Amino acid sequence: MFGLHTYRARLVIYVGLLLAFLLGVLSFSYYSSRGVIRGEAERNVARVAQQIEGQMAREARDLLERVKMVRDNSSLVEYIHVVLWLGTDGGAVRELYQRQFGWLPVHRVVLLAPDGRPLLGGEHADLAARLSALNRGDPPDGHFYFRGARGLELVAYATVRYRSQVLGIAAITRAIDRAWLLAAREAGGGQLFLVEDGRIALGTGDASFTGLGFAPAGNAITLRDEGYLVRPIAFAASPAALPTLWFGLSDAELLRQLTEQRNVILGLAIAGSLGILLVGFMLLRNFSAPLTRLVGVMQAVSEGRFPEVGETSARDEFGYLLNRFSAMVASLREKQEEIRRVHTQLAEQATTDALTGFYNRRYLYELYPKLWSEALRSDQHLVVLLIDLDLFKQINDRHGHMAGDEVLRHFARALRDSCRVSDFVFRMGGEEFLVLNHGDLDGAQVQAEKIRAAVERVAVTHEKGSIRVTASIGVARAERVDGLNSLSAVLRRADTALYAAKQAGRNRVAVAEAPACA
């Protein structure tokens, strides 16, 4: 038999699941630690490179707006027109520009006349020569990157017109220097390298990077024993050969991401450990627990106990055996409970008064010899308080037996509250009760007065009015001279004392005298 519900098949399945889970965790950890980190780093480099390209495009548009603002200044345009018409030099134009736009944060300014003569920035011959190629006819406004005598620059230019006449071309520049690289790097960290002729000409790192060879293999390069993921950043609208701008993310950043991924792998390892523990627990529960449970139940049954054995939903051999055994134990337990319940009821009926809950007269004759023997061995005394409700027959005759029973219940409650835990209370019959305890006559008399006072306060509400009741109490002590007839003798003396209390007017306590030879 090797079905899916046998324990051998389950063992094979559980072991297979455990091996598959471990292999899955190891494989996922390996590929995620390699592929996820590398892929995320490459995406981060590409994303930052795109951000820098977007920032460069915004700077170009901003610089173009600034040169248009210079071009559109009416005062400056009129000065240029007058200078060109008179054929004078550009000194007045330079002075006006300084007054109007000297605050602009630009690197160089050049203003060329249509004939190529510089009205502004005559000292910037390299830039003027580059603009002369554009200063033909009516060129559109634009920008380009330029490698001149002062390094790499962003150049924005605009045609200057007076009415419909072209007066020349104006250009302003912004330097692509170390300060610019540092500002651009803030977009996403990492390093920026300006590479020319295969070597680093400028960068955001320290000066030791300058002059290093820069030849990436794919999107990676090693500089000074430190690896970088790199991505080129294009200089837009620049047909001329220019240096190349690269963005690089160092191994230090990859190490940070590796640490994060390590935490992921650690979480997977914990999950794997929990999975192994779970499988182990399932094995233990499916093999050891049912056997232990069956052995425990059988041991309890052999000792005469019938514990609760819940049924199981398992459909294997142990499940079938446990369910059958559970039904058998449940049946035996029900029979045992029924026998115990009947025995308890019989015992209570044999020793307890149903109305008051006190012991009955029969139990007094059963218990007294034991208490008397203990008292003799420990040199103690037994005292008896024999209590009788006064004129109780008149209550039954006047109010009925139902009212009489209610009075007895109230009296029993008051008597129970007035007795100690160690006292034994009996209903001798009708309205007569007995309290038995260890002590002396003085203590018994005090207790009897307490009981009498408590009974005197009892008031039973009835449809014919409030019913009050009193009690007379006789107190006696069992003496050694009573011998084997101790119970009869002490009851006789207590009854004599009770009769004396009745004769003295009821609702009082009387103490019996000790025998003459006691």
Give the pLDDT confidence score for residue 1 in this predicted structure: 41
| CATH code 3.30.70.270 region(s) in the chain | 352-511
352-511 domain in CATH 3.30.70.270?
yes
- DSSP for 388-423 reads EETTHHHHHHHH-HHHHHHHHHHHHHHHHHHS-TT-
- The model's pLDDT over 166-179, given as tens digits with 9 standing for 90+, comes to 888 999 999 988 88
> Which residues, in sequence order, are CB contacts of 321 under 8 Å at separation 6+?
294
The helix, strand and coil proportions of the chain, stated in percent and rounded to the nearest 5, come to 55, 20, 25
- Could you read off the pLDDT of 16-40 as tens digits, one per residue? 777 677 767 766 765 666 666 677 7
User: Are 65 and 101 in contact, with CB atoms under 8 Å apart?
Assistant: no
What span, in angstroms and rounded, lies between the C-alpha atoms of 256 and 249? 12
- How far, in Å, CA of 129 to CA of 190, rounded? 37
Alpha carbon distance, N-terminus to C-terminus of the chain = 88
Tell which residue, 267, 216, 270, has the closest CA to residue 246: 216
Task: Please compute, for residue 24, the number of CA atoms within 13 A of its CA located in the half-sphere on the CB side.
Answer: 12
pTM score, whole prediction: 0.48
What CATH architecture applies to the domain 1-174+260-302? 2-Layer Sandwich (3.30)
E strands, 128-239, where? 142-148, 151-162, 165-175, 191-196, 199-203, 220-223, 226-233
pLDDT at site 2: 44
For residues 80 and 83, what is the distance between their CA atoms, to the nearest angstrom? 5
Question: Which neighbouring-strand residues pair with 475?
Answer: 385, 511
| Range list for CATH 3.30.450.20 in the chain | 1-174+260-302
**Three-state DSSP class for residue 351:** helix
Q: Residues near 121 by Cβ (< 8 Å), separated by ≥ 6?
A: 108, 109, 110, 111, 127, 128
DSSP H/E element including 266: helix 251-302
Length of the chain: 518
Angle between helices 37-71 and 178-185 (to 10 degrees): 130
What three-state secondary structure class fits 370?
Answer: helix
Could you give the residue ranges of the DSSP H alpha helices within 303-400? 317-351, 361-377, 392-399
Q: What string of pLDDT tens digits covers the 518 residues of the chain?
A: 445 555 556 666 776 777 677 767 766 765 666 666 677 777 888 888 888 888 888 998 999 999 899 888 888 888 888 888 887 777 888 888 888 888 888 889 999 888 888 888 888 888 888 888 877 767 888 888 988 888 889 999 999 888 888 888 999 999 988 888 888 888 667 888 888 888 988 888 888 888 888 888 888 888 888 888 888 888 776 656 788 888 888 766 666 666 776 677 667 667 766 776 676 667 656 666 666 666 666 676 666 666 666 666 666 666 666 677 666 766 767 777 776 776 766 666 678 888 898 999 999 999 999 999 999 999 889 999 999 999 999 988 888 888 889 999 999 999 999 999 999 999 998 899 999 999 899 999 999 999 999 999 988 887 777 889 999 999 999 988 888 788 999 999 999 999 999 999 999 999 998 776 55
Q: Quick count: other Cβ atoms within 10 Å of Cβ 425?
A: 21
Q: Can you give the pLDDT at residue 518?
A: 53
Choose among 454, 408, 453: nearest CA to 428. 408
Element (H, E) at 476: strand 471-477
On whether the CB atoms of residues 359 and 352 are closer than 8 A, the answer is: yes
The helix or strand, by DSSP H or E, that contains position 473, with its residue range, turns out to be strand 471-477
* Contact (CB, 8 A) for 236 and 64: no
d(CA 34, CA 208): 31
- The encoded tokens of residue 400 equal 């009925």
